[in-house]
Structure 1
Amino acid sequence: MTVNETDLFDERKSLRRICDHARMRMVAPFPTLLNVILRLNTSTSAHVMLPPIVGSPKPPNMVVVNVGPSGYGKTAVDDTAEEYLPVEIPTFPLGTAEGLCQAFDPDEDGQPGVPNILFSSSEIDNWAALGERAGSMMFPVLRQVITGDQIGQKNASKAYTRVVNKRSYRIGISLSAQPGSHGAAVLFRDSPGGFPQRCLFASVIDPDAPDVPPTGVTPYVPDAVPDFTPNAGEYYEIPFPASVVDEIREHRRKVLRGDAGVDPLDGHRNLTKEKVAVGLMILEGRNEVTEDDWRIAERIMAISDATRASLVSAVEQASRNANRARALASVDRDEVVETTKLQRTKHTLIKHLSRQKEMPRHDLRKRLRSDQRQYFDAAITELIDNGQVFATDTENSTTYRIAADAGPVSTWTESPRQKPQVTSGGQLVHGGPSDNVTDLDSRRSNEPDRPKLSCQRWFDNRIAELVAQGHTTASSFAVYAEGQAAGYTRQQLRTAASTHPDVTVIDRTGGKATWDITGATEVPYRSALEWVNRYLDKLTPGTEIDKDRFRQAGIAAGHSWTATRRGATESGRIESVRGDGLETVWVVKPDRVTEDAS
């Protein structure tokens, strides 16, 4: 039980008996109480009315929603309430709006042949599916029946005319909803119309269920049967205390005056609270509501409000999870497409390079189809990184050559240009070609019979050699090429690099990394997600993101477009909205407080 339920059932003997009976049947007491009240109100004669405190007389028609996960006994609650109060009321499954009207079997004058009916839906998703049909009148009709309005439709043919007069029937509706279910989401979609505000909500979970359930519990029988002889024309208008009438009318007065501090939808709550008070009144065998009935009704409403809030929260969380799953699925689909196009681009580059001895960048790029050219940089970088293509910088361009033409000992390097080197003092200097050109033959073992080292051992030894030679940085491309020549796979080498305590990435350009091998330099390189967060930190919330600029900035930082897109999704800071055409627009979310990942 919640805090509000702790001593609710100690308020009266009638409430305690319902609690004990529910626990005897191993179901939760609070939803059992609401369903007993639902059955009591639905069993009253159609002439018994709430007084016209606001507007006209209203019937005590109610909707109860049993809330809980699958297997927690939502249907068992209905059965227990029926066992406790076995009144003869026709009970039907809740279907369409037309079917609901037909169930009353109205005559030509609109008088129902069956004036008292209980409707139930043990699976709200089934009922919600009917409510989502195009042209469905389910929610409007449900709002009408709760207040006893006229329902049905008048058609040209009598055979298709179904009208039930207002205030001529009694109806009770019992629904069951799972937190986060689609049916619960459909239920709350009618919040602007006010249907959820007219319902009572009860959790079927009972944390205080006793180890040993009660036995031999019998229903509470009041000392008298309430007399509902008409006292206002054809109706019996249930008397309410003057203090309650004043409270309800004061709220209504503020609504009429447009008081900003008053929620007009609370008017639905007051009407529902009146119906709960009437149920408590009938339980005691009385025909007028007391202030104590009103006080206990407020306690019941508070529990219902809390349950409804938790259900709303679960629906919103399920919606967020579904949106995120759709976004990730979209990214995955895009990644598959991007990967396929990238692979085709790589294949095309290999094909053209196989036909030519070597090709400059601009000629090679022109050989690609227009839809492949955007993948040129990523494709050629991967080919170089995998050792399939070698590149050299000329005076005005970069020339590419397929690895098969390079001969057994390649003199091609990652780049003949002098690269920045970090000295042990932290200053940037330029080393000569010998700093980053490695003769692979000089690194190969001349002792084929010597047992082969593990990849990690080989890698550790190679890094130690470079440090001993005075190097403070190393090129991943060069070290990987040496390792592959020694018989290790690129994946083994990458694992060894990630495991080495002194090897950290300090730069990544064109898919090739530069390592610090001293273990003493801070790492300015960041993951795609970290880079995206820093990029977004510079933008004003609500700003539209230029996708082309975003893509180029990510590539310049060493991240592929696929990695950048995934980082954008994982950051949770970008909202994708529909633009003027078919393209979507990315907008920085306004209410996100991010955590600096650095």
Structure 2
Amino acid sequence: MTNPDTFWSERPILTHIYQYAQARRVSPWATFGGVLTRVIAATEPRIQLPAIVGGPGSLNLFVGIVGRSGQGKGASQAAAASCITISGGAIFDTITVGSGEGLAASYVQRVKDDDGNLTVEQHSESALFDVAEVDTLSALAGRQGSTLLSELRKVWSGERLGFQNRDQARSLPVESHTYRAALVVGVQPTRSGALLDDADGGTPQRFIWLPATDDHAPDRAPLAPPPLMWHAPGESIIPTIDGRRTITVCDSAWNIIDRARVARLRGDGDALDGHALFSRLKLAAALAILDGRGDVTDDDWRMGGAVMDVSDRTRAWCREAIRQQSIDTNRARAEARAESNVTAADHAEIVAINRAKDRIVSKLGTDWVGGASLRKSLTQSLRAHFEAALDELAEEQVIEISRDQSGTRARLTGSRVANSSPPLITPDNPRDSAARKGDTQGVASPSPRHTLVTPEEVPA
């Protein structure tokens, strides 16, 4: 297997892409993905892979450029566009993705013939779809009744596009292998769930995942080499046989794909990597075409595997980013709940202490009152806050506290007694029941801090 770090020195065109990307301060892998999609878009749809599994294989290619915001996903595609000059091949426009039904409209349209009847006419055979942010794809795919992801999966395989409508005038069928498509999507790792979550449908395994980063970016940018001229393969390179121009595939690749297919027929294989070998074959064919050839060699197959290794690691990076984001989100929610609970608990404690303080003050006068008696005057729920209430009252100089061998005693301070007066009798502030009965033994006049004693505060 090719070491991805030495991949760039394998061929002159790859060295050129690497040097050009570093000169433009963008990711070589992202630029490579952009170059491949442009080369594939310029490769006419009659050029196909052999029928190893089922029918002929399409070269249609999907690439995800993965990077955080500001890491140059879009800049790498601009570099890819100027890195090589395309000569010949299919003419393509760079367009964005709309609805699933709109994909077919990228290639065909309804026109009236000489008799005034509507017929389907193909106006383009190739398109390069460019989606700057995967969120756009996610929003489109998330619409009610959206068929975008299912239609994109058909595009990747070169299958027939369009829907059979009751109104034939609105039907836009595109026959299989009559169109070429390349798709580039900018993907932020934490937003990649839009693709990864459709693993059961087979969407993520149809993408080549390439990083928008460059661990080996030099401190000083080198000079950019001039663009290279790339010539689309002609008939002499890939001849037409029975209406198709079929790329030849080396035995090693053919046998590996065949054995893996047999294993999947027998129920084995991973869902996410069900199309991994087909993706590798597409990459190998794209590398051959980029190199000006029409045959997938053992070297192409090996190098395609190196790119798939990078893709697998980049896809794993996305999965880890989503996992870590989920952990961080859950932790933040837990901390918010804990903080809310603490705040509520603190508030409840403050209320309880204040009630205990009011109750204690209502039982005190100029004479010392024992702590046991004061504690007993509190309801069961307030007794846990007795010491805190005493300490706060002492700090506020409302009471004096004596603690000795005989225990804790308390009484109102002199200034408190002098300034005390019966509180205003209102429905919200009734006098203490003992005071209303005239039982003042050992009890001073109610303090202004006296508040309503609720039923739950009646001493046990």
- What's 1:539 paired with? none
Question: Partner amino acid for 2:131?
Answer: S
Taking every aligned residue pair, what percent have the same amino acid on both sides? Answer: 29
Work out the CA distance in 2 between the residues paired with 1:361 and 1:153: 83
- What's 2:443 paired with? none
- What's 1:100 paired with? 103
1:191 aligns with 2:199: yes
1:297 aligns with 2:296: no
Work out the CA distance in 1 between the residues paired with 2:311 and 2:374: 75
Work out the CA distance in 1 between the residues paired with 2:97 and 2:84: 21
CA RMSD, 1 decimal:
3.2
Work out the CA distance in 2 between the residues paired with 1:159 and 1:356: 92
- What's 1:234 paired with? 243
Question: Partner amino acid for 2:308?
Answer: M
- What whole-Å deviation, never above 9, does each CA across 1:442-469 have from its counterpart, x for those lacking one? xxxxxxxxxxxxxxxxxxxxxxxxxxxx
Uncovered stretches (5+) of structure 2, i.e. residues with no partner: 111-117, 365-372, 412-460
Say whether the 8 Å CA contact 1:277–1:289 is kept in structure 2: yes
Say whether the 8 Å CA contact 1:92–1:117 is kept in structure 2: yes
Say whether the 8 Å CA contact 1:226–1:287 is kept in structure 2: no
Say whether the 8 Å CA contact 1:111–1:168 is kept in structure 2: no
Work out the CA distance in 2 between the residues paired with 1:265 and 1:49: 24
Work out the CA distance in 1 between the residues paired with 2:108 and 2:280: 30
Question: Partner amino acid for 2:33?
Answer: L
Give the secondary structure class of the aligned counterpart of 2:129: strand
Say whether the 8 Å CA contact 2:363–2:374 is kept in structure 1: yes
- What's 2:379 paired with? 364
Name the CA shift for 1:293/1:407 in 2 (closer, same or farther; >3 Å). closer
Relative to the length of structure 2, the TM-score reads 0.74
Q: Map 1:166-565 onto structure 2 (within 5 A).
A: 166-180=176-190, 183-215=191-223, 217-221=225-229, 225-227=233-235, 228-231=238-241, 233-259=242-268, 262-263=269-270, 265-347=272-354, 364=379, 376=381, 380-382=383-385, 384-387=387-390, 408-411=399-402, 434=405, 437=407
Name the CA shift for 1:349/1:132 in 2 (closer, same or farther; >3 Å). farther
Question: Partner amino acid for 1:198?
Answer: R
Work out the CA distance in 2 between the residues paired with 1:213 and 1:319: 38
Give the secondary structure class of the aligned counterpart of 1:118: strand
Q: What's the CA shift for 1:215? A: 2.8
Q: What's the CA shift for 1:438? A: 6.7
Work out the CA distance in 1 between the residues paired with 2:252 and 2:378: 91
Q: What's the CA shift for 1:216? A: 5.3
Say whether the 8 Å CA contact 2:400–2:410 is kept in structure 1: yes
Work out the CA distance in 2 between the residues paired with 1:138 and 1:51: 27
Relative to the length of structure 1, the TM-score reads 0.58
Name the CA shift for 1:383/1:48 in 2 (closer, same or farther; >3 Å). farther
Give the secondary structure class of the aligned counterpart of 2:379: helix
Name the CA shift for 1:383/1:140 in 2 (closer, same or farther; >3 Å). farther
Name the CA shift for 1:169/1:356 in 2 (closer, same or farther; >3 Å). farther
Q: What's the CA shift for 1:86? A: 4.6
Give the secondary structure class of the aligned counterpart of 1:176: strand
Give the secondary structure class of the aligned counterpart of 2:181: strand
- What's 1:5 paired with? 4
Work out the CA distance in 2 between the residues paired with 1:295 and 1:209: 26
- What's 2:64 paired with? 65
Give the secondary structure class of the aligned counterpart of 2:342: helix
Higher RCO (CA 8 Å, separation ≥ 6 residues): 2
Give the secondary structure class of the aligned counterpart of 2:65: strand
Q: What's the CA shift for 1:361? A: 6.0
Q: What's the CA shift for 1:264? A: 5.3
- What whole-Å deviation, never above 9, does each CA across 1:16-67 have from its counterpart, x for those lacking one? 1111222222212122112111111122112221111011112111111111
1:90 aligns with 2:93: yes
Name the CA shift for 1:24/1:270 in 2 (closer, same or farther; >3 Å). same
Q: What's the CA shift for 1:109? A: 6.4
Give the secondary structure class of the aligned counterpart of 2:52: coil
In the alignment of these two chains, the number of paired residues is 388
- What whole-Å deviation, never above 9, does each CA across 1:187-223 have from its counterpart, x for those lacking one? 2211222211111111122122234434351334468
